[in-house]
Structure 1
């Protein structure tokens, strides 16, 4: 067993004249939550589909849990959990019936009742899936993704359509799964979600990795120049961009007798960095 759950080198995929993935390299460690950020059409979903063996690649080398997804068999598939971008189809089956049915596909499934509790659907166990809300159905999708005790869980835009409260509840579930040691690969276009959940992330645009690292330090974010904001005694708002914000604040302290009005220090946000990487800087 290596330290990496996923290793990708030179991944390529074309659809006719369109290059969806153009030489992607990734290393994803076992037990980490790894995020893939990018605009629509960036190649995120295609990359995840290739990792799970659902889609063939045109070039590159891939190892997922020690095997090539393009040639791996059913034993390997049982080690992978998948939550698709679209919600599962609503049926007449109840939540409990659905989870128990899917448990039969795996050699070592988790206890269905335990999984239903894990995703917060205990009160809906006897409800038909067609009666669930969108957020509840998404939780059911996660239950089906983890019922087989996956070593690797692939989540493709899992919180699309969630309201803010449902999204935060879902984050708690992902943190629980990560604490159990599950490797999680998450594609999302929600920057707050990526920053809150991931250990590391990659920004993909135009089918290529534009940056890779921790959200706090991505593309030199932590070392970027800071902006010091304050208000002068006459009410004029002032700013100063500097690489030494502590020194700037000390200088201001000598000028003001007491608190510095409206003092704050900001550095580039993840959104600022992301927009720059995909070529859509704020004006």
Structure 2
């Protein structure tokens, strides 16, 4: 019915005089100037939305992350918009509604809106983390520096090691060990107080058990090409990223709220602290002309 109404409106407009059309343009420019986004590959695109009378209206999709970018949007809708939202959508998308994976949002003030990921994904400004080096999924005590587990055992008993905000729909956390420059996942999770999604199915872990009930990984077998497991994570980087779900990339996404280079003299089974990661928020501005 909505499409029919739009079609009728377009037909009525086409019947008006040429003078009316020239003096009352139907479209205006929406200019995006965003920083921190990364290319999504062939399977997904970014899509902008304006909120008009409480409903989302698409402003168009894009794949390039070079800015500024300009989009032509219905003038009346653009002038009435209260909010801008950016989502991640399938490149071939039969659903006209926005996906759950929304990455930026902000309200218009006059003709501009400051947008960021804090409210629409999560605010990571207070995030902290603790981890240990250990390989609990095997019975061999000679390779304990080849595993990382996001828990805190400083009190003598393991407790949750990650203090992270609850993510909005469409996002998950993922742990990483960056080994000689190559990120290798520890698994995805939404609850830092529970095992990650691949706890029972990881191809890297040992054969004795699945490890403690916290996110983490043992790198003990089936190493990727060019690597040797077991390995030594000392001197390597441990990180937590925030990933879109579904995710078509095996690499970490832009948002990385926590990270730490493991000291070369780090002791195994000893609590180590994660620091602030390289990207905790994505920002930008949106202007309507």
TM-score (norm 1): 0.24
Structure number having the greater strand percentage: 2
TM-score (norm 2): 0.24
